């Protein structure tokens, strides 16, 4: 039986037994429950309170619930879940989109069950169990990753970006692509970026020349690359992000736009700024690895 299933069984058993106990006998019942937990539940989820310990010391419980609620709120904010959706359901759905939730999915499902044990109180308000230190530290760590995830600038170093002048011929650009194997090249007119030329745009323009029966050699040699740029390409094939944006946003960008060729990274994520990185689909395996190991 999985750890979480054992915990759920314990909670269910406790509730079933408590429902049959008269209010005047519940104090003795709680004492027996604690004794039984101490013997059978020495796991990494709960620590039970002994008679000699401060029964009002619920610091771990409060810390746990605080982080639990923040994780709950973050998932709702990120993915617009309905108020009626449970924590467990949100975890299962968020795991499909969010690398942090996916990495800690099993733990979060266990924590959903643990929360029920923490908030389930006796008639006099006594909490029967509190999470052990390692669990509190773990859920606070998950909360931190969700609210302050690794950024692009922290995890992906700047690259040497090869750019071209808008007056270079299409042929010169094609030769540069062949020699460097770069598929996205910023095009500048002086110090101002005019656009980004990519393999798709080059092939499309050459194909039109062939289809119209024009001289391909003349087109390649005489046409400035700036003349074939399309403003729509920047909107369709590229997404601007800043170095301070979370690495998760890179994955989100490719998920939201299936035509995306690259995430364009600059200092503030503003068009026209100096580009410090292109993150393409070929980099996504590394992005996933960084997020899983962070």
Interval 179-187 mean pLDDT: 94
pLDDT of residue 17: 52
Span 11-34, pLDDT tens digits: 455 455 545 555 555 556 555 555
Secondary element (H or E) of residue 28: helix 26-40
Span 193-203, pLDDT tens digits: 999 999 999 99
Two structure tokens written together for 173: 């650009």
pLDDT of residue 267: 95
Q: Which residue segments constitute the domains of the chain, with CATH numbers given?
A: 3-148 (no CATH), 155-293 (3.10.580.10)
CB–CB of 261/202 below 8 Å?
Answer: no
pLDDT of residue 293: 82
User: pTM score, two decimals?
Assistant: 0.69
**Percent share of the chain, pLDDT over 70:** 77
Band of residue 37 on the pLDDT scale cut at 50, 70, 90: very low
pLDDT of residue 59: 87
Give the least confident one: 56-60, 223-227, 250-254: 56-60
CB atoms within 10 A of CB 79: 15
Band of residue 120 on the pLDDT scale cut at 50, 70, 90: low
Interval 218-246 mean pLDDT: 96
CB–CB of 157/51 below 8 Å?
Answer: no
Q: Any idea which residue has 């030329």 for tokens?
A: 197
Average pLDDT over the chain reads 84
Helix ranges (H only) for 41-193 are: 59-79, 87-94, 99-103, 105-119, 133-147, 152-155, 170-180
**Percent share of the chain, pLDDT over 90:** 65
């Amino acid at each position: 039986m999985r750890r979480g299933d054992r915990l759920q069984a314990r909670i269910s058993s406790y509730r079933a037994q408590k429902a049959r106990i008269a209010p005047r006998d519940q104090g003795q019942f709680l004492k027996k429950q604690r004794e039984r937990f101490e013997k059978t539940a020495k796991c990494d989820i709960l620590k039970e309170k002994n008679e000699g310990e401060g029964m009002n010391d619920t610091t771990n419980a409060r810390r746990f619930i605080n982080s639990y609620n923040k994780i709950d709120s973050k998932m709702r904010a990120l993915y617009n879940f309905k108020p009626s959706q449970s924590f467990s359901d949100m975890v299962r759905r968020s795991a499909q989109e969010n690398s942090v939730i996916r990495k800690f999915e099993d733990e979060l499902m266990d924590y959903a069950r643990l929360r029920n044990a923490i908030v389930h109180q006796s008639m006099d308000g006594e909490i029967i169990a509190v999470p052990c230190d390692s669990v509190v530290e773990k859920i606070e760590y998950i909360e931190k990753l969700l609210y302050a995830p690794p950024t692009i600038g922290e995890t992906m170093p700047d690259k040497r970006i090869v750019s071209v002048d808008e007056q270079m011929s299409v042929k010169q650009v094609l030769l540069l692509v062949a020699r460097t194997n770069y598929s996205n090249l910023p095009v500048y007119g002086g110090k101002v970026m005019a656009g980004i030329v990519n393999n798709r745009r080059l092939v499309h323009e050459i194909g039109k020349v062939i289809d119209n029966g024009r001289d391909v050699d003349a087109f390649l040699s005489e046409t400035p690359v700036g003349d074939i740029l399309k403003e729509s390409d920047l909107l369709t094939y590229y997404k601007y992000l800043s170095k301070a944006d979370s690495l998760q946003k890179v994955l989100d960008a490719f998920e939201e736009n299936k035509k995306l060729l690259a995430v364009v990274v600059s200092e503030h994520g503003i068009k026209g700024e100096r580009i410090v990185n292109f993150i393409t689909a070929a980099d996504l395996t590394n992005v996933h690895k960084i997020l899983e190991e962070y």
